[in-house]
A = this chain, B = another copy of it.
């Protein structure tokens, strides 16, 4: 492992750069963790939100997770086609679909969350509980910001 120059220069002190690299490392390991399930990061997110808010509609799920309405369509289709969520017309608002997790969805979600727990442990090996909590807190402060949309 003769680590070469690896001269990132002015990128070194940039949080944005390291956020990108850390996100990439997490995403790569996440994909490995999900192998065989057919699930991806976004799908697990949607399944979790639907599980926690039975009867929620697509738009609301998208708003919670930061996914555009247009992009929700095929994602929900994937989950419905896989039998993981059920979609019925909302009786109270016939424009909307009411989403609910199925038994198969619950089983899949449980499997995914177990895999994700192991994945997080791998990625955060060596982190103290205080460090993990601090990282969550700092990331939370960033994500609750949106200067671009101001």
A residues apposed to B, CB below 8 Å: 4-11, 13-32, 41, 45, 48-49, 51-53, 60, 63-66, 113, 116, 119-120, 122-127, 131-132, 134-136, 138-143, 145-149
**CB of A150 to closest CB in B, whole Å:** 9
CA distance A50 to B41 in the complex (A): 33
Q: For A141, what are the chain B residues with a Cβ–Cβ distance below 8 Å?
A: 126-127
CA distance A52 to B26 in the complex (A): 28
Identical chains in the assembly: 2
Asked if A20 and B41 make an inter-chain contact with CB atoms under 8 angstroms apart, the answer reads yes
Asked if A49 and B147 make an inter-chain contact with CB atoms under 8 angstroms apart, the answer reads no
Could you list 15 examples of A-B contacts with CB < 8 Å? A4-B64, A8-B45, A8-B52, A8-B64, A13-B136, A14-B120, A16-B123, A22-B139, A25-B145, A28-B148, A122-B147, A123-B142, A124-B142, A131-B138, A134-B138
